[in-house]
Amino acid sequence: MKALVVGGGAREHALAQALARSEATVIVASMNANPGLDRLAAAAHRVDPTDPEAVVGVARQHAVDLAVIGPEAPLASGVSDALRAAEIPTVGPSRAAARLETSKQFCREFLARHRVAGQVRYVAPATIEEVDAAVAQLSVPFVVKPSGLTGGKGVRVQGLDFSDPRDGAAYAKSLLVQGDRAVLEERLDGEEFSLMAFVTDSGVYPMPAVQDYKRALEGDRGGNTGGMGSYSQRDHLLPFLPAADRDAAVAILNETHAALRAEGLDYRGVLYGGFMLTRDGPKLLEYNARFGDPEAMNVLTLYEEGDFDELLAGVATGRVDPNLVEFRLRATVVKYLVPPGYGSKPTPGGVLTVDEPAIEAEGVHVYYAAVDAAGPGRVRLGTSRGVALVGEASAIHTASARVDAALAHVHGDYYVRPDIGTKPDLDRRTEHLRRLRAPGAKPSPLPLSVAPPDAPPSSAARPDQVP
Ligand code: AMP
Ligand code: GLY
């Protein structure tokens, strides 16, 4: 099978690797030259992945049997529709269905319209004049989200990013001034998890649950990022996520699929639910219309023995063979190496020496993201996430330790969030939910003001990593 991968990050590198494992020939369409992705591609085209004509051109040139869209931007610009119009089976929902991700306002209104479970209280003020009333109407700590795409970086949370509700209101107004819409939501207390599923005409096929670390710094401090790392547990649940709550989240995905069908919205792709597990069960924070990054690396690492190309072809053509949806029972941990200061003021240009054979010899996989090749075994960091290392083991903290051991084979100036998948971090999250859900527990008083960071972001760079 010949498969086109659209996009050039670590998620796409992992997708291409999984396709190559099932002996598919991989063609790449991306703006950047990803050294890992290009290496395993039979052909790599430097095109704008959001340009429908250019992507269809590459697909036609190679007569591909399948196209897989990695990032959200091509979904937003109609690449999936253009590929389908050219009769190329495609993993990626139509632009109209991808509004679940590309418009948070659409998403909230859609879920409300269909009374899908797990909804939160929200207001989407249409004008600047309505913002103060929206804040008053919510009358609880709240979160402000730009409605449009921001790469996970535009959300501001009361108590984390601002203290005074007036500052939240001012932010919402600034979004409206810029021409976007703002969604204001009640702030939820709990622990977050990502649940992705293959969604197509024949149904919803869930993948293992993953926890992503969205904040830049240890202890969930610092700015919101695309995701600093992630883990998954051996039984495909999470330390704080029991089967009943995972099943409740799957039910929300199923209800959403039914609602999409009821509105005649085609969905053949991956539906990613970003959930908060609260004392009242899972609530939906956001939908993404694609694989998560880094979450894709967790689940694809567990898909080593199957026929990934057949599975994706099933998603693209509307009928999945459930026997192909099989993930190994192992824990996985992903850690992203990012430029120092990432999450606030990243310093680009640092060169990393990556001894891939030594890392692989430790049983750890390497996936490249926003880096340029800088000679044999060397890559140059940009301002985004650079290199992902993925370890597996039977326990999460063991997989985390494996990645740490592999870091000895990377030299240069970078930052890795140190608490990803460590035992104290897992225990802290489990304890948080246990307290929240204890019988008779009062809702915990969430912080209303922003705590001063006890370490400035610059000291977050690990000096021991400077060669
Ligand atoms: P989103 O892009 O909607 O997933 O939001 C980015 C991040 O903001 C989430 O991963 C959460 O950490 C946080 N967040 C979003 N919505 C809420 C909410 N209603 N309550 C608390 N935190 C939230
Ligand atoms: N890890 C969050 C995302 O892919 O949007």
Q: What is the pLDDT of residue 444?
A: 64
Pick the ligand that lies closest to the CA of residue 149: 1
Residue 454: band (very low, low, confident or very high) from pLDDT cuts 50, 70, 90: low
Assigned domain for 276 exists: yes
- Mean pLDDT of the 453-466 span: 39
pTM: 0.94
Assigned domain for 289 exists: yes
Structure tokens at 232: 């998954």
Q: What is the pLDDT of residue 249?
A: 98
Residue 10 to residue 20: CA distance in whole angstroms: 15
- At residue 302's C-alpha, the angle toward residues 69 and 362, to 5°, is 110
Q: Are residues 260 and 394 in the same domain?
A: yes
Q: Are residues 174 and 202 in the same domain?
A: no
Indicate the helix (H) or strand (E) that contains 391.
strand 387-393
**How many other β-carbons are positioned within 10 Å of the β-carbon of residue 47?**
17
Q: Are residues 158 and 58 in the same domain?
A: no
Distance from the alpha carbon of residue 276 to the mean position of ligand 1, in angstroms: 8
Q: What is the pLDDT of residue 453?
A: 56
Range of the domain at 292: 191-424
Q: What is the pLDDT of residue 455?
A: 43
We report the CATH number of the domain holding residue 398 as 3.30.470.20
- DSSP, collapsed to helix, strand or coil, labels residue 380 as strand
Given a cut of 50, is residue 364 above it in pLDDT? yes
Residue 452: band (very low, low, confident or very high) from pLDDT cuts 50, 70, 90: low
What's the alpha-carbon Rg for the chain, to the nearest Å?
21
Tell me how many domains the chain contains.
3
Q: Are residues 141 and 74 in the same domain?
A: no
Q: What is the pLDDT of residue 390?
A: 98
Given a cut of 70, is residue 459 above it in pLDDT? no
Q: Are residues 221 and 284 in the same domain?
A: yes
Q: What is the mean pLDDT of the chain?
A: 93
Q: Are residues 76 and 136 in the same domain?
A: no
Percentage of the chain with pLDDT > 70?
A: 96
Q: Which atom of ligand 2 is nearest to the CA of 288?
A: 5
Q: Are residues 252 and 363 in the same domain?
A: yes
Q: Which atom of ligand 2 is nearest to the CA of 151?
A: 5
Q: What is the pLDDT of residue 152?
A: 67
Q: What is the pLDDT of residue 153?
A: 75
Q: Per residue in 174-216, pLDDT tens?
A: 999 998 899 999 999 999 999 999 999 999 999 999 999 999 9
Q: Are residues 171 and 199 in the same domain?
A: no
Assigned domain for 108 exists: no
Q: Which atom of ligand 1 is nearest to the CA of 160?
A: 22
We report the CATH number of the domain holding residue 58 as 3.40.50.20
Mutate to test the pocket of ligand 1, among 155, 161, 214, 280 (most ligand atoms within 8 A of CB): 155
Q: Are residues 387 and 280 in the same domain?
A: yes
Structure tokens at 41: 């591609």
Q: Name the H helices within 318-422.
A: 356-361, 396-406
Handedness of CA 241, 198, 384, 298 (dihedral sign): positive
Q: Per residue in 138-183, pLDDT tens?
A: 999 999 999 988 876 789 999 988 999 999 999 999 999 998 899 9
Q: Are residues 346 and 198 in the same domain?
A: yes
Q: Which atom of ligand 2 is nearest to the CA of 292?
A: 4
Q: What is the 3-state secondary structure (H, E, C) of 111-180?
A: HHHCCCCCCCCEECCCCHHHHHHHHHHHCCCEEEEECCCCCCCCCEEECCCECCHHHHHHHHHHHHHCCC
Q: Per residue in 115-149, pLDDT tens?
A: 999 999 999 999 999 999 999 999 999 999 999 88
Sheet of 331-337, strand order: 211-212, 229-232, 331-337, 387-393, 365-368
Mutate to test the pocket of ligand 2, among 101, 107, 272 (most ligand atoms within 8 A of CB): 272
- Mean pLDDT of the 338-357 span: 95
**How many other β-carbons are positioned within 10 Å of the β-carbon of residue 462?**
14
Q: Per residue in 42-61, pLDDT tens?
A: 999 999 999 999 999 999 99
- Mean pLDDT of the 297-324 span: 95
Distance from the alpha carbon of residue 178 to the mean position of ligand 1, in angstroms: 21
